[in-house]
Amino acid sequence: MKKQAAAVFEKLLSAYDRHHSIGDITPTFCRLFGITEPECCGAQAIAPVVDHAAKIFGGEGKTERALLFCTDAMGDHQRELFPEAFNKIARVAGLRIPSVSVSPSVTPVCYGTIFTGTAPVVHGILKYEKPVLTVETIFDVFAKAGKRVAIVAVNDCSIDRIFRQRNIDYYSCRNDEVSFARTMEILESDRYDFIVSYMIGYDAAQHSFGCESPEAAAQAALAAERFEILAQTMDKYWKNFNRVLTLVPDHGGHMIDEVHGAHGTELAEDMLVSHYYRLFEKSRESK
Ligand SMILES: [Zn+2]
């Protein structure tokens, strides 16, 4: 499984001339927390992130809290369309990792890869469908290691469906606003070590009104604003912990007619994304 996945990633990296795939998230967070990666994982931990963490946290595996903000369809094409929003994200994060998505570039296939570290042919979601994954995921290995894990997402979306039946908590929300409010609540009460929080807004707007429409622009700006709020909230309520905030888009998107945006192809507009990492050391006074 590992070799098969590694071969798929290798091919994608060379085809799109990138050093990292979206699947690298899983081995990277396993290294950050000092947890063994899922058995099917064929992706590779991102050295600049792991090294930076070891440097500022004083060793490997010393991350204590993480929040992964999954902004659907906020790829590198969107980064070109909305420089202001993405500059804000980059400023807040500090570290940008240009990455390549997987094919077909649709949400359940991509997040399936992101949270298993393996290729679609191994995790089994090969098209737009939302079965519960049967391979080992990052959620399984974190739960097994005693970490408290939560997924906060809009009801019935891919992330809400494909990672069910794990020993973690699921917050299935009516819309993005409720989902963001829940995320803030559980951050403030420090109930979890590892939180995945999903935002569907930009993707929904690009499908309905176009990638560059005012509606889509507003959602991109909102995602950047929420990323900044999450960083500030973590600094307040997680200040006693080594912490990581990451922006985790799944794919990008492009125009398919005069009005509508979409994704799912192997075009660069769909396949190229960047993941943003913000690492912060626990406050020294509390040590
Ligand atoms: Zn998506």
What are 102-134's pLDDT values in tens digits? 999 999 999 999 999 999 999 999 999 999 999
Q: If you average pLDDT over every residue of the chain, what do you get?
A: 97
Q: Which of 118, 171, 174 has its CA nearest to residue 149?
A: 171
How far does residue 122's CA lie from ligand 1's centre (Å)?
19
Q: Terminal CA-to-CA distance of the chain, rounded, Å?
A: 42
Structural domains counted in the chain: 1
Judge whether residue 141 has pLDDT over 50.
yes
How far does residue 56's CA lie from ligand 1's centre (Å)?
32
φ, ψ of residue 279 in degrees (nearest 5): -115, 135
pLDDT band at 168 (very low <50, low <70, confident <90, very high): very high
CATH number at residue 109: 3.40.720.10
How far does residue 138's CA lie from ligand 1's centre (Å)?
19
How far does residue 128's CA lie from ligand 1's centre (Å)?
10
- Element spanning 198, H or E: strand 194-199
How far does residue 287's CA lie from ligand 1's centre (Å)?
40
Kindly report whether the peptide bond that precedes residue 104 is cis, defined as omega within 30 degrees of 0: yes
The residue range of the domain holding 177 is 2-286
How far does residue 159's CA lie from ligand 1's centre (Å)?
10
Q: Which of 43, 38, 283, 219 has its CA nearest to residue 141?
A: 38
E strands within 1-148?
20-21, 65-71, 95-100
CA–CA dist 90, 227 (Å, integer): 10
How far does residue 213's CA lie from ligand 1's centre (Å)?
18
Is the CB of residue 234 less than 8 Å from the CB of residue 187?
Answer: yes
How far does residue 31's CA lie from ligand 1's centre (Å)?
26
CA–CA dist 27, 40 (Å, integer): 11
Judge whether residue 187 has pLDDT over 80.
yes
How far does residue 254's CA lie from ligand 1's centre (Å)?
12
pLDDT band at 204 (very low <50, low <70, confident <90, very high): very high
How far does residue 79's CA lie from ligand 1's centre (Å)?
15
Note if the pTM is more than 0.95: yes
φ, ψ of residue 277 in degrees (nearest 5): -120, 135
pLDDT at 284: 79
How far does residue 106's CA lie from ligand 1's centre (Å)?
6
Judge whether residue 146 has pLDDT over 50.
yes
pLDDT at 56: 96
How far does residue 204's CA lie from ligand 1's centre (Å)?
9
Give the chain's length.
Answer: 287
Q: How many CB atoms lie within 10 A of CB 262?
A: 18
For 285, residues 6+ apart whose C-beta sits below 8 A from its C-beta are none
CA–CA dist 171, 210 (Å, integer): 29
Mean pLDDT of 227-235: 98
Judge whether residue 286 has pLDDT over 70.
no
Mean pLDDT of 84-91: 98
Read off the pLDDT of residues 1-13 as tens digits, 9 standing for 90 and up. 899 999 999 999 9
pLDDT at 58: 93
How far does residue 108's CA lie from ligand 1's centre (Å)?
7
CA–CA dist 21, 203 (Å, integer): 20
Residue identified by tokens 């679609």 is 120
Judge whether residue 287 has pLDDT over 70.
no
Mean pLDDT of 36-43: 97
CA–CA dist 24, 114 (Å, integer): 7
